[in-house]
Every structure is written in C-alpha cells, then in structure tokens.
C-alpha cells in the first residue's frame, strides 16, 4: 500500500519540516502551510493543529506583527526547546534515512546480481 | 465547499471548547482564507486544500484539551483532556473501558481510604486523650498525627500516579492518532490531496 506509507512518512516528517522552516526565519501559518504543501503535498489544514501542539509542547511561541493592510498577523518563532528538538530530530532523521538507503541499495545490488 | 460552509462545520465541531479558544481557532482559518484569496485562489480551492473541517476540529479540540491539562493540573482539566483524546477515536473505548474502570475504581477507592484515614487520625488525636487510650494521652496525640500524616502521604502518591496516568493516555492517543488513523483512512486523505490543485498549476 504505497499511499499508506507515504502518508505516514509525511505526517511524521511534517513537524520536523516546520521546525526547520522556522529555524531559517520566523513565519506565519499561511506561509508555512503553502510552502510545505508545495514541497511535500500535505493537506494545508493539518498545519493548525500541528502549530497548536508545538505551542503547547513549548517548541514555538507566537507574536503579533502590525500589518499595513488588515489586522495584525500572528508570527511563529522557535523557542530554545524548539531548537533542541530540531537538532535531535534531524539527527534521528539522518540516521533513519541512511539506514533505509543502505538497505535499499543492498536490495538493488542483490537484484542486479541475480539478473546477471 | 464555500468558505462559509467550511467555517460553519468547523464551528460545529469546536462546540464545547471555551469561547476564547474557539474564536482564536476560527480566526486562524479565516486568516487562511483571506491569505488564500489574496494569493488568487478561489474559496473552493482553499477549502479543498485545508481538508475535512470535522476531522480538523476533532484534532484541534484534543490539542486544546491537552494544553489546558498542561496549564492547570486539576480534575476537570484531566477529564477534559481524556475525553477530548477519546474523541479522536484513536483509542478503542470498548477495549479500554474495562481496564479504565478498574484503574479509576482502584484509585478512587484509595482516595476514599486516604480521606477516611485522615478523619480517623483526627478523631484519635482529639478524642484519644480523654478515652483512656493505652499508653496515655501523649501516645494518642502522636498516633493521631501519624495517621493523618500517613493519609496525606498516600493522597500525594495517588495524585502523582493519576497525573502520570492521564499523561500516558494523552501520549498514547496522540501517537496512535498520528500513526494509525491516517493509515486507516488513506482514501479520504488521498481524495483531499487529489482535489488540491497541483503546485504551480495556477502560476
């Protein structure tokens, strides 16, 4: 079931991607949602429950920025705990993807060997 | 789905949350529609990209319940958090209920016992010296104090266990909602995603 594993992987990676984006620059929800949905194809609505979860876990905090047009906008920035989580999770991610890559590479090599 | 329909369904799903929290959440999605329209998308496109408002409301409600539990550790917040995560449907209530009933019943029993011991200690301390307690009045006062201190200790221990249990339930439900639920509903999510216009298609 390719769909299932795809959705699970994306859902798991979404939090990490948000941390990484916010580490580059503070941002607001619509910008985060549209960048991530372009890049990894998640439903945009998922971003709001996620941002609330990260806020209640103390990984991000919000502040309001006055805007020339319309009401002031809610920006998100990383907390120290958020930067810690980003470092820990990207290390985990790298280890995990390297392990999967290694297994996939072995598998491909085995298939080539069998074909010859 | 139009913007009004989406917001209405979201509002319906958020019933039961404090008004301030619900208003805050609705404002987030209203802003999202404003931003989307400003970026040249239609209401239907934005709504389709957002996903199912009923499902989003369930998840938001659970997050709000958990946040309240983190901020104020009291019985009502604990019940709110547990019921909100149960609402996710990630925990099978029929399997969990017999276990939960036993655990909750045991904890409740111990609480009652602690209260009874506290009252008993008070009675021994106050009435003991006048009732010819073996060992004299001083021993009676000490024994009463000891019983009361013991009951406070049991009560504190029970509180720690209860807080830990609620946290464990929340953790378990979140994990399963994130990992299990999407796997059970791949069609619904795939439908939402295929309804989303391809990135760059409008550019």
Query: Does B114 map to a domain?
Result: yes
CB contact, 8 Å: B28 with chain A? yes
Rounded to two decimals, the pTM is 0.63
pLDDT tens readout for residues A3-43? 566 666 777 788 899 999 999 999 988 889 888 877 776 67
Q: Chain A neighbours among B 164-193 (CB < 8 Å)?
A: 174, 178-179, 182-183, 186, 189-190, 192-193
Between CA B153 and CA B158 the distance in angstroms is 9
Q: Which of B57, B63, B173 to mutate to probe the A interface, most A CBs <10 Å? A: B63
CB-based contact B196 A41, cutoff 8 Å: yes
Between CA A92 and CA B46 the distance in angstroms is 34
Query: Does B76 map to a domain?
Result: no
CB contact, 8 Å: B25 with chain A? yes
| Mean pLDDT in residue range A44-63 | 87
Query: Does B38 map to a domain?
Result: no
Give the model's pLDDT for residue B184.
Answer: 43
pLDDT tens readout for residues A56-93? 888 999 998 887 766 788 899 999 999 999 999 999 99
**At A53, which CATH number?**
1.10.10.10
Domain extent, residue B103, equals 91-179
Name, in order, each residue with C-beta under 8 angstroms of B129's C-beta and a sequence gap of 6 or more: B137, B138, B140, B141
- Asked whether residue A113 carries a pLDDT value surpassing 80, the answer given is no
Query: Does B4 map to a domain?
Result: no
Total number of domains constituting chain A? 1
Backbone angles phi, psi at B80, to 5 degrees: -60, -45
Total number of domains constituting chain B? 1
Tokens 């957002």 -> residue: B50
Residues of B in contact with A37 (CB under 8 A): 49, 196, 199
Between CA B54 and CA B45 the distance in angstroms is 17
The tally of CA atoms less than 13 A away on the side-chain side of residue B32 is: 28
Domain extent, residue A98, equals 2-115
Tokens 């609330």 -> residue: A52
In chain B (203 residues long), the average pLDDT of successive 10-residue segments reads: 90 86 88 88 87 83 79 77 70 70 88 90 82 76 87 90 85 66 45 47 40
CB-based contact B49 A52, cutoff 8 Å: no
């Amino acid at each position: 079931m390719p769909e299932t594993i795809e959705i699970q992987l994306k859902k798991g990676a979404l939090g990490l991607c948000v941390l990484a984006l916010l580490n580059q620059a503070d941002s607001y929800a619509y910008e985060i949602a549209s960048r991530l949905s372009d890049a990894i194809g998640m439903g945009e609505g998922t971003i709001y429950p996620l941002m609330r979860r990260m806020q209640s876990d103390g990984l991000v905090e919000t502040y309001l920025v006055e805007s020339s047009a319309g009401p002031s906008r809610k920006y998100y920035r990383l907390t120290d705990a958020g930067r810690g989580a980003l470092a820990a999770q990207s290390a985990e991610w790298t280890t995990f993807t390297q392990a999967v890559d290694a297994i996939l590479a072995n598998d491909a090599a085995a298939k080539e060997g069998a074909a010859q | 789905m139009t913007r009004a329909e989406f917001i209405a369904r979201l509002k319906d799903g958020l019933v039961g949350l404090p008004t301030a929290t619900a208003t805050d959440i609705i404002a987030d999605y209203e802003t999202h529609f404003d931003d989307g329209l400003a970026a040249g998308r239609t209401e239907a496109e934005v709504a389709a990209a957002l996903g199912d408002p009923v499902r989003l409301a369930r998840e938001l409600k659970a997050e709000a319940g958990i946040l309240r539990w983190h901020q104020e550790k009291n019985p009502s917040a604990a019940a709110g958090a547990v019921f909100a995560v149960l609402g996710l449907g990630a925990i099978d209530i029929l399997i969990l209920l017999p276990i939960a009933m036993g655990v909750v019943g045991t904890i409740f029993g111990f609480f009652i016992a602690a209260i009874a011991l506290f009252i008993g200690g008070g009675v021994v301390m106050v009435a003991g010296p006048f009732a010819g307690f073996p060992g004299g009045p001083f021993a009676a006062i000490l024994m009463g104090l000891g019983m009361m201190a013991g009951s406070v200790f049991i009560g504190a221990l029970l509180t720690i266990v209860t807080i830990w249990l609620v946290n464990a339930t929340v953790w378990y439900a979140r994990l399963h909602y994130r990992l299990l639920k999407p796997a059970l509903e791949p069609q619904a999510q795939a439908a939402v995603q295929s309804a989303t216009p391809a990135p760059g298609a409008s550019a």
